[in-house]
C-alpha cells in the first residue's frame, strides 16, 4: 500500500513540474532606482542681465598747434605739444541678453570641467564732457556704445559635499564685441578756433573672467539655473583728430584720444541639458 501511495505522489510531482515548464515567461519592468546625478553632457540656454562700466579713464591731449603758409598737416606733427590734456572716465551701462551653449565633464564626484560660448545683444552706452581747460579753451565730448559682445570660455567648478546638483565655478577666456566710440574736440582762442570729430565702429577683442553658481533641481534634472558675474576687457580705442582753425588762416591743431572698454556684467540664465542621465529600467524575468 505504501508503495502505491509513494508512486502516486511522485507521479503528481513530475506532472506539475512538466506543466510549469510549459508556462509562458512573463517580463515586467520594475521601477528603476533613482539615477546618480551628473553634470556631464551638452547644454544650452538663455540669459538676461545688466552691464556697467568697470573704470578705466579716457585720456588725451592736444598734440600741437601750428601755422604754416598755405597750411599743411605735417606742421602739426612738427610743432611742440601744448600743455592741454584730459583724463576722465566714461561708464557705459545698460541691459543685455542672449544665449549660451556648452559642454560639461564631471571628472569625479566633486570636480566639473567644461567649455562654454555665448553671444549677447546689449544696450550699453555712456557719455562724458570735459569742460574748457588748459591753453585756450579745450572742450572734449565722448560717447561710447557697446551693441553686442560674446565670449568663449573654459569653466572649472566644485560640487558641494552632499549637494551634487549645486555647482560653484570659475570661468575665463576670450572675449569680442562691437564698440562704437565717438569723440569731438573743440579748441578756442581769442583769434579763432577749430573743432574736429572722430568715430570708431569696429569689433574689438580681449579677455574675460569671472564666476558663478549653478543649481539643478532634483525633481527636474534636465534643467539648471545659474547666476554669473564676468569682467570683460576689450582693449583701448585710439583716435587721432586734425582740424583747420577758422582763424588765423592756415593754422591747424591735432589731438589724440584713447578710450579703454572695460565693463562688468551680472546675469541670470536657464539651461536645458540635451542628454540628461536616465536610469535604465531593471527587467525581472520569472
Output the nine-digit C-alpha cell for 110: 566633486
Task: Tell me what the mean pLDDT of segment 86-92 comes to.
Answer: 83
Ordered alpha helix ranges (H), 47-188: 74-78
Tens-place pLDDT, residues 217-230: 988 889 999 999 99
Cβ count near 245 (within 10 Å): 22
pLDDT tops 90 at residue 146 = yes
Q: Are 229 and 209 in contact (CB under 8 A)?
A: no
Compute CA distances 98 → 6, 101, 176, whole Å.
84, 11, 14
Tell me how far apart the alpha carbons of residues 109 and 163 are, in angstroms, rounded to a whole number.
Answer: 10
Task: Give the residue with greater pLDDT, 224 vs 74.
Answer: 224
Cβ count near 265 (within 10 Å): 23
pLDDT tops 90 at residue 280 = no
pTM, to two decimals: 0.76
Q: Are 256 and 236 in contact (CB under 8 A)?
A: no
Structure confidence at residue 147 as a pLDDT band (50, 70, 90): very high
Tell me how far apart the alpha carbons of residues 198 and 185 are, in angstroms, rounded to a whole number.
Answer: 9
pLDDT tops 80 at residue 272 = yes
Bridging pattern class, strands 111-130 and 93-106: antiparallel
Amino acid at each position: 500500500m505504501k508503495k502505491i501511495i509513494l508512486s502516486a505522489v511522485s507521479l503528481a510531482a513530475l506532472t506539475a513540474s512538466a506543466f510549469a515548464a510549459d508556462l509562458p515567461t512573463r517580463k515586467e519592468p520594475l521601477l528603476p532606482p533613482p539615477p546618480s546625478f551628473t553634470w556631464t553632457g551638452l547644454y544650452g540656454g538663455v540669459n538676461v542681465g545688466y552691464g556697467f562700466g568697470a573704470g578705466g579713464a579716457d585720456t588725451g591731449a592736444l598734440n600741437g598747434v601750428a601755422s604754416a603758409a598755405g597750411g599743411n598737416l605735417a606742421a602739426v606733427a612738427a610743432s611742440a605739444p601744448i600743455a592741454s590734456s584730459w583724463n576722465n572716465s566714461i561708464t557705459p551701462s545698460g541691459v543685455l541678453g542672449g544665449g549660451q551653449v556648452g559642454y560639461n565633464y564631471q571628472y569625479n564626484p566633486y570636480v566639473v570641467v567644461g567649455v562654454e560660448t555665448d553671444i549677447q545683444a546689449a544696450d550699453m552706452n555712456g557719455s562724458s564732457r570735459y569742460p574748457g581747460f588748459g591753453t585756450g579753451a579745450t572742450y572734449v565730448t565722448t560717447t561710447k556704445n557697446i551693441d553686442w559682445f560674446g565670449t568663449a570660455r573654459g569653466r572649472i567648478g566644485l560640487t558641494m559635499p552632499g549637494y551634487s546638483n549645486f555647482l560653484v565655478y570659475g570661468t575665463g577666456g576670450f572675449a569680442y564685441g562691437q564698440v562704437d566710440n565717438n569723440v569731438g574736440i573743440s579748441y578756442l582762442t581769442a583769434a579763432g578756433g577749430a573743432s574736429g570729430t572722430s568715430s570708431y565702429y569696429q569689433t574689438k577683442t580681449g579677455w574675460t573672467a569671472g564666476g558663478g553658481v549653478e543649481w539643478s533641481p532634483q525633481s527636474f534634472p534636465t534643467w539648471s539655473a545659474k547666476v554669473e558675474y564676468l569682467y570683460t576687457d576689450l582693449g583701448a580705442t585710439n583716435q587721432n583728430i586734425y582740424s583747420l582753425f577758422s582763424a588765423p588762416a592756415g593754422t591747424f591743431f591735432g589731438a589724440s584720444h584713447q578710450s579703454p572698454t572695460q565693463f562688468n556684467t551680472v546675469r541670470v540664465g536657464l539651461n536645458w541639458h540635451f542628454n540628461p542621465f536616465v536610469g535604465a529600467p531593471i527587467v525581472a524575468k520569472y
